[in-house]
Structure 1
Amino acid sequence: TFSNILQGLDISLKKGKKSRSVGEENDRTDGFDFLLFVLDSIDTRKIACSGLFYSSILLEGARLGGLRKKIASYLADAKAITLGESNRIKVDECPVPDIEVQRLTWSTLLERYSEFKKSLGDKCILPNLRVRVGKNEIRQVLSAEQAVVYGSYRMRAARRFEI
């Protein structure tokens, strides 16, 4: 079903940029916004998306650039955080009350990014992102994540283990 969504939106699964007209560019942003809505729906049902679907979203965000590339980089961070939380027990010495912490959705983050960008990690938490990556998809997923990540590898690794 994930591949049918990508085919319906005419999103290619290959890395690289294509030349587009202005009208086609708007269609692409609408498609990316719809994919974020699909990720929100998947998160509410607590199911995993395929690695192919995840990497296609990242590559589309990288192609569009700007805010959508930034959101795609948060997708990569959320995947790493979700994977880390599922594999370890979290102990807080000074927990923040649940009333003050707000779990965002991807669509809300895209629409109101300027409001939430300074409070991400403190008062606002990224949504969970469960991704099922098969043996044949590992290279494609890593390549897509590399296309959207900002900064050096050491900065990303430090940030991932800090949370």
Structure 2
Amino acid sequence: MGLFDKLTGTRRPSDGVVPLPVHEVRAALLALGGPEVPWVVRDGAAEDADLVAEWRIREPAWRTFFLRTQVSELLQIRMRLLPDKREVRAVDRMWQVTWAGDTPRLALSAEAARGQMSVSTKSWTLGRGEGGEDGEDGPTQNFGVDTSDLKDPVRDTVLAAGWMWRGVAFGKL
């Protein structure tokens, strides 16, 4: 892996992995998001991409999760599948989230927010003591949002399919 590959997040599949046809790679990526994960992979034709992976912040079932975690930034990965090269080109977009009550509003803060992104884990524990007060005793619930929770499974699926994951910093997807 070269220096530029490291900067863009480009990864190559392991030696000996037989590349799958494009329709199988697409199907594997679309199958990633399920009801138990707070993100989805969907068709991206309306956004000049083949596929888009993003957090489910607008879905009512997940909105309270994101509200409780006070998420302020979200990652979106736009992907283009290039079957001739057996490559998925990916560009990240970081969205700023503001909350009006329990309704999220998303805004791309600047074009500079486009490229390969990473946000550190934001994690904390909520707990209640036996009398209902905040404290160390009693049941706890962990919350956190990390860009790798979305990016790693998507990228790993591409690599397991024998395709290259090429991060695109700027320019055409």
Smaller-chain TM-score range?
under 0.3
Higher relative contact order (CA 8 A, sep 6+): 1
Q: Which structure features the higher share of strand residues?
A: 2
TM-score, length-normalised on structure 1?
0.26
Structure of larger gyration radius:
2
